[in-house]
Amino acid sequence: MLKILFFLCLYTASYKGNNVKVAIKELDGFRYINIEPISKLLGGKINYLEKSGRIFWQKGDVSIVLIDGSPWVLLNAKPYNFPLPVRKGDDGVFLSPSMLVPLLSSGFNLTVELGDDSLVVFERKLKIDKVVIDAGHGGRDPGAIGLKKTKEKDVVLKIARIVANELEKAGVNCILTRDKDKFIPLEKRTEIANQNGANLFVSIHLNACRSRKTHGCEVYFLSRARTGWERAVEARENSVIKFEERELGVDLESILWDLAQAEYLSESKELAAYILKSVTKKGNIKSLGVKQANFFVLRGAYMPAVLVEADFISNPKCEKRFKDKGFVRNIALGIAEGIEKFRAEYEKQMNYE
């Protein structure tokens, strides 16, 4: 099949005050970025083995092996699979953003801000000063609905606004994925976090199940679901895809296993534990524990990321509590407090006083 390759535009890549123009191409409808000028900007080196199609990208002790036409990458001899393959042409080596960003992040310990026409690279931040709060659902997607017609999308937006306000008071730059009743595709939510160089991503939801008696809070991090319950919650939250005007793409199918998420697995689990402890205490809610599932909304986040299921809107008693401003505020304060406690411990470990 004939593949059409053509220039879209030029990016400006920046690192430590130095700038370079980077070619952008489109191949079969996907954007690709030329890594050769980026490598030179970073002080790296690219070598080729033409017969095998292998490409060696090296900087210091870091060794990245790419293969033309393959989505597989070796980072210091460890394999990772990405959504889209490497493309090599006469004018350079091109990677998709979904491959380039985590390689720069995890391979070279750099933070990346990817804009519409620029790519800014800087040393990894060891201080948490920017957090993205995601109010689940919205717009044509109401989320779970209680017996009294309380909609999940409305409650979580109230919680998210309070969390953002509390974090701002604590000196954290907080970004909301939505500040009104608006539908945002799942993929776009983590993209907002990545493009803004956020340090944490927290998605807020309410739970639901057939049993009207079930109640409690649980907080998830991204990994393969282990239990029937985790798979059920995963399926319900991932069903949001039906509201999106697209099919589930290869990027979402593959990105769970990229190296960025593997790197942040431990931190995500710790963040989940801090939030769970604070929310259950502040809101006087039963703890259902820290759990794991393959949530679409957490995929692609190049930072610690968790999903909070605050309590069960399917439980009439819980639904009634969600109409209480004080209860909603306590949940939000618990989430903010959990983030703050994680932040303090994280920065302490990273030698911040």
DSSP string, 62-125: EEEEEEBT-SEEEETTEEEE-SS-BEEETTEEEE-HHHHHHIIIIIS-EEEEE-SSEEEEEEPP
Q: Quick one: 5-123 is in which CATH superfamily?
A: Copper amine oxidase-like, N-terminal domain (3.30.457.10)
Determine the pLDDT at residue 7: 44
Say what the pLDDT of residue 111 is.
Answer: 77
pTM over 0.75: no
* Residue spans per domain, the chain: 5-123, 130-349
Between 84 and 163, name the one with better pLDDT.
163
Supply 10's token pair: 């030029």
**What is the Cα gyration radius of the chain?**
21
Res 225: pLDDT: 84
Residue 173 CA to residue 127 CA, distance in Å, equals 12
Strand duo 72-75 + 78-81: pairing: antiparallel
Q: Which residue has the tokens 């409305």?
A: 154
- For the segment 182-191, the average pLDDT, to the nearest whole number, is 90
Residue 41: CB atoms within 10 Å: 18
> Domain 130-349: which topology?
Aminopeptidase (3.40.630)
Name the H helices within 48-137. Answer: 97-102
Alpha carbons 271 and 219: distance in angstroms, whole number: 9
Which pLDDT belongs to residue 244?
61
Q: What angle is formed at CA 330 by the lines to CA 327 and CA 331, rounded to 5 degrees? A: 90
8 A C-beta contact, residue 273 and residue 205:
no
Stronger pLDDT, 15 or 109, i.e. the higher one: 15
